[in-house]
Amino acid sequence: MTRLKTGPKTGSNSQSGVHTIAEIISQPETWQQCLAVLDQNGELSALDEVLPRDTEWVFVGCGSSFYLAQIAATTWSNLTGENARAMPASDILLFPTLLPQACQPVLISRSGQTSEVLQVAAYFERRLSVKTLAITCGENTPIEEISSHLIKLRPADEESTVMTRSFTSMLIALQAFAAARSRRADIRDALRALSAQIEKRMDEVHSTIRSLAQSKAFADYVFLGQGPFFGVAQEAMLKVTEMSCSYAQSFHTLEFRHGPKAMVSPETLVTFFLSESGFREETAVLEEIKELGGTTLVVTDRVNSAIRRCADELVDIGLSLPEAAWPAAAVIPGQLLGFYAGIRKGFDPDRPRHLTRVVTLEGRDDGGPNREP
């Protein structure tokens, strides 16, 4: 297991963020534990047998869980060939007509207590008679009482407020389900090999991001990714916003050219999550942004002379695995950046300002939207 050699030294309290950093560092080991649980109980194969085919899959979440849903939906489509989309729970509650006519809902909630997700679960199960699949890290939670099917990842639960190991563990579980459904043994094996490979890189990744965050306070943070890595960029944006209260945005990499690049300056840290599928086109954007004077951080599994020339900081995740298995590893640098940016500004990442571990709302208990689809 990778161990944190030195705790955070910057900020008003040397004990700030002790739970969060421990949970970030524990991720490779946690992935192994969660996959072992799924292997032992045969849950993914059993779900594959009972859940419908020839329907659209809708991955639902709030906050980090919605960004997780974006990655999961892209992976699901790419591996299984089935239609899939991600939706925030709030859109289903407020605009139910956006739902496809027939779908298989997948409800994502670390705690199993998120109000909007519970309302969506009740809407599908009780009003539409559609059986839902929920994934959670909680124990004896309301989502278990409502959803017909459940994936529970207890080893991934957390003490801290922000989602870190729960995010990547639930992502890997959903990717493993997609691999099982599509009979992709290569992806199944890659997900099992991921923890050992990223463990070897963890100290270097940790050191690189810590040094970057402690060396300079940036005015703006921008995160760029395409395909499944757009969800990674979204999650990195949220981690920096939550833990450091910094201004952060996320865009599709090639879309950044179409207006948003106007914000680029040396005070802007632009992070590129470079895919294998779009490597050449995305690298061209990196070269353009570097010419405009932006400060660049590159997270990739492929490094060439152009990357080394244009990256002010480089995180080579060093995986010899199919691209579909990368996203969980690519999430880690954004988590670390949010953590150390928060420490630099004197915040406690374990207790982000204005945030609670579970978002619960009052005033709605009917389990559904204001109007029928």
pLDDT for the residue 253: 98
Using alpha carbons, select from 224, 199, 221, 344 the residue that is nearest to residue 278: 224
Q: What distance lies between CA 37 and its chain's CA centroid?
A: 21
Residue range 154-173: average pLDDT? 95
Q: Who has greater pLDDT, 359 or 43?
A: 43
pLDDT for the residue 10: 41
Split at pLDDT 50, 70, 90, the class of 16 is confident
Q: Are strands 295-300 and 313-316 parallel, antiparallel or unpaired?
A: parallel
108 bridge partner residues: 135
Strand order in the sheet with 268-273: 248-252, 220-225, 268-273, 295-300, 313-316
Q: The tokens 């849950």 sit on which residue?
A: 43
Using alpha carbons, select from 182, 58, 77 the residue that is nearest to residue 132: 58
- Residue 327 in contact with residue 75, Cβ under 8 Å? yes
pLDDT for the residue 94: 96
Split at pLDDT 50, 70, 90, the class of 351 is confident
User: First and final CA of the chain: distance in angstroms?
Assistant: 49
87 bridge partner residues: 60
- Residue 129 in contact with residue 143, Cβ under 8 Å? no
Average pLDDT, the chain: 91
> At residue 301, does pLDDT exceed 70?
yes
Split at pLDDT 50, 70, 90, the class of 54 is confident
pLDDT tens across 310-349, in order? Answer: 999 999 998 999 999 999 999 999 999 999 999 999 998 8
Q: Who has greater pLDDT, 7 or 27?
A: 27
Name the 3-class secondary structure at 61. strand
> At residue 371, does pLDDT exceed 60?
no
In this structure, the number of other CB atoms found within 10 A of the CB of residue 179 comes to 24
List of domains in the chain = 18-188 (3.40.50.10490), 198-344 (3.40.50.10490)
pLDDT for the residue 349: 86
pLDDT for the residue 340: 96
> At residue 81, does pLDDT exceed 70?
yes
Residue 15 structure tokens? 């004990």
Using alpha carbons, select from 292, 271, 269, 268 the residue that is nearest to residue 282: 271
Q: What phi and psi, each to the nearest 5 degrees, are found at residue 276?
A: -80, -40
Q: 182: which DSSP letter?
A: T
Query: Angle between the 185-215 and 27-41 helix axes, to the nearest 10 degrees?
Result: 160
Residue 22 structure tokens? 């421990």
Q: Who has greater pLDDT, 368 or 34?
A: 34
Residue range 349-357: average pLDDT? 69
Q: The tokens 């090639």 sit on which residue?
A: 254
> At residue 5, does pLDDT exceed 60?
no
**Looking at the whole model, is its pTM more than 0.75?**
yes
> At residue 137, does pLDDT exceed 90?
yes
The residue type found at 283 is T
| C-alpha to C-alpha distance for 29 and 36, rounded to whole angstroms | 11
In this structure, the number of other CB atoms found within 10 A of the CB of residue 161 comes to 18
